[in-house]
Amino acid sequence: MYKIGELSKLCQIPVKTLRYYDSEGLLVPDEIYHFTGYRYYSASRLADCNRIIVLKELGFTLDEIKMRMKAISTDDVLTLIETKEIELKNTILQTELRLRRLETRKKIIKEGGIKMFDVIIRSTDTLRVAILRNIWTSKEEAFTEIDNIRNKLPQNILGKRAIIINYETEYRENYFDLGVCIEITRSLPLDSDYVEKVIVLPSDVAMLICQKHELEEAYKTLIKQLEEDSCQIVGAYYEVYHDDGTVELKVPVYKLSPLANKHQNDDINLPFENDTDAIGKWKFLDVLPSEEQFCYGHEKSNQGVWLQDLYFLPNGEQFWAVSGWTKGWLFTSCGYPKRTYKNKYQIKTLDHKKLMFIQMKDYDHESRGGMPTVWVYEKVSDKAFTKDEIRIRDNTDIPFVLEDSVLGTWKVRDFVLTTKVFDPSKQNFSKEGLFFKQVEFKKNGNATALYGQKDPYELFWTKGLLLDKKNGIAEAYEIKVIDSIEYLFIEWKSGDYTYGGRKPYWFVFVRV
């Protein structure tokens, strides 16, 4: 047994630190002599001391080290190590981010002539306003309306600030969806032409200070920095105008993890509950950070989403990437391996139009702890469609014409957008991750394909086409010789084509 001083010399940890470890329950003596209070440690404690030193050098806190010392199973230890690994990677990313921001600031200062704005993320105050929302041909028209509101409202209820709520999500040169507001301190008169609204912004709001003439540049700065800081914009922009010309530009944000965490599939095995309002066909209108930004007939986003036509089939039946539904929830799946999502929906009526608002998850945000975006659809048919009615079916009743050049077995090489972009010197997708593995063309017009880990699948073919008669799919093929090597290109008509109507990509093969 060693006294505390002797252990201190052996492990080179100060006595004061060893006493602190004892008080924290991290390194408790094997014995304490009651008459003197001396602490005695067995030789095995040297290993504990070394472990503490190593873990501290790896960046573990004392609480984390304590958990590590108490860990019994290998899984417990691995969980602690993996958690610390993620934390340290986040620290590296945050440090790299700060370095990039410092470099940007240094560049701005050196070049000169460009305004440098300081963007901060803070909680913000609640705004009580009189608001008029409209599509304005120009910002100047909106500013004129601010003066009109001031003149029409009783002077004793006016606050000091004017606010423009910018519901747009992309840059526009004219026709802006704006809420024109004046701060008020008391309720509006009953006969007012305006709507009273209390604006409560989320806890995290990104903001900067600028002058009115600097707003365009301020927007660019804010958006760029939020991208660099891994922040997701989750609402409209607020331009808060003060009497001296100072403007606060604000937008609600959600802080994302710099690292993509492992996706956890949502549980979509919920009991089916019918929703007659949902059954039928819905047409995509818009995708937005928040529901309040939607304005019918004034779509905000030019982003083409993968689900243009959305069908709610009877009994919650699934099709393509729609893995089914139950009242209040739409289930989707994507990717390889498959990822499943549970997306909340609400149906609302606006000017006799039936609209659906879906809080749609996607991997980019969800895997980093982000918020769903809002996808908006309009009901265009109440018909209870069947799965067969909504899919594309190719003509596969085509007579066989032999083409000797395609006979034999071909092994997958790559996956490309078009045959023209294929570059033999590059690998667009990992071969191991490609779903279509191999195809054999036989002389009698039969073909055999290998997909993923599935059993061989029997197909037919004729000159220029690979035919899946069972599923009504005709995929074009062509052979190209590049640098004396034959490559076979085959269209890939997945559900993206048969249900989504999208242009097929191409698998690339080489002879075995």
Cβ neighbours around 192 below 10 Å, total? 16
Do 125 and 251 reside in the same domain of the chain? yes
My answer on whether 377 and 420 are in the same domain is: no
Which pLDDT score, from 0 to 100, does residue 316 have? Answer: 97
Mean pLDDT, to the nearest integer, of 90-98? Answer: 80
The reply to whether 378 falls in a domain is yes
- 27 found inside a domain: yes
Domain-located, residue 395: no
C-alpha–C-alpha distance, residues 217 and 384, integer Å: 50
Q: What is the pLDDT of residues 246-294, one digit of tens each?
A: 999 999 999 888 666 667 889 999 999 999 999 999 999 999 999 999 9
Mean pLDDT on 353-381: 91
Residues 79, 39: one domain? no
Q: In this model, does residue 199 exceed pLDDT 70?
A: yes
Looking up tokens 């002879």 gives 511
Residue 270 covered by a domain: no
SS3 assignment for 71-102: CCCHHHHHHHHHHHHHHHHHHHHHHHHHHHHH
pLDDT at residue 23, rounded to an integer: 83
**How many separate domains does the chain show?**
5
User: Considering the chain, what percentage of its residues have pLDDT values greater than 90?
Assistant: 60
The yes-or-no verdict on residue 27 having pLDDT over 80 is yes
Question: Do 374 and 386 share a domain, yes or no?
Answer: yes
The pLDDT value recorded for residue 113 is 56
Residues 236 and 338 grouped into a single domain: no
DSSP 259: S
- Locate the DSSP E strands across 105-245: 120-122, 127-136, 158-166, 176-184, 195-199, 205-211, 231-233, 237-241
Residues 370 and 472 in one domain: no
Segment 218-238, tens digit of pLDDT: 998 899 888 888 899 999 999
What percentage of the chain has pLDDT greater than the value 70? 95
- DSSP lists the bridge partners of residue 237 as 166
324 and 305 part of one domain: yes
Average pLDDT score over residue span 101-110:
72
From the list 50, 302, 273, 77, the residue with the least C-alpha distance to 172 is: 302
Burial class (CB in 10 A: 0-12, 13-18, 19+), 102: exposed
User: Residue 180 pLDDT more than 80?
Assistant: yes
Q: Which domain holds residue 11?
A: 2-70
What CATH number did the domain enclosing 460 receive?
2.40.128
pLDDT (average), residues 142-161: 93
Final residue of a structural domain among 88, 114, 140: 114
Mean pLDDT of the chain: 90
pLDDT for res 157: 93
Q: What is the pLDDT of residue 38?
A: 79
Do the strands 353-360 and 339-350 form a parallel or antiparallel pair, or are they unpaired? antiparallel
Distance CA 202, CA 158 (A): 25
Rounded CA-CA distance 106/100 in Å is 10
Q: What are phi and psi of 274, to 5 degrees?
A: -70, 150
- Picking from 24-38, 98-112, 119-133, which range would have the lowest pLDDT averaged per residue? 98-112
Shared domain for 251 and 129, answered yes or no, is: yes
| 426 and 414 belong to one structural domain | yes
| Residue that terminates a domain, selected from 390, 425, 457 | 390
Q: For position 140, what pLDDT does the model report?
A: 93
pTM of the model: 0.77
Indicate whether 236 and 285 sit together in one domain: no
Q: At residue 15, what is the residue type?
A: V
Kindly state the average pLDDT of the residues 114-121. 80
**Least confident residue range of 68-82, 177-191, 310-324, 468-482:** 68-82
- Is 114 a residue whose pLDDT tops 60? no
Asked whether the predicted pLDDT for residue 431 surpasses 70, the reply is yes
Q: What is the CATH number of the domain that holds 184?
A: 3.20.80.10
Q: pLDDT-based confidence at 453, cuts 50/70/90?
A: confident
Q: Is 262 part of any domain?
A: no
Q: Checking DSSP bridges between strand 237-241 and strand 339-350, what pairing results, if any?
A: unpaired
| Cα separation, 456 vs 475, whole angstroms | 18
Average pLDDT over residues 314-327: 96
264 located within any domain: no
Does 300 lie in the same domain as 192? Answer: no
Helix (H) or strand (E) holding 223: helix 215-228
236 in the same domain as 132: yes
Would you place residue 191 in the very low, low, confident or very high pLDDT band (cuts 50, 70, 90)? confident
Q: Is the pLDDT of residue 145 over 70?
A: yes
Q: What is the mean pLDDT of residues 382-393?
A: 96
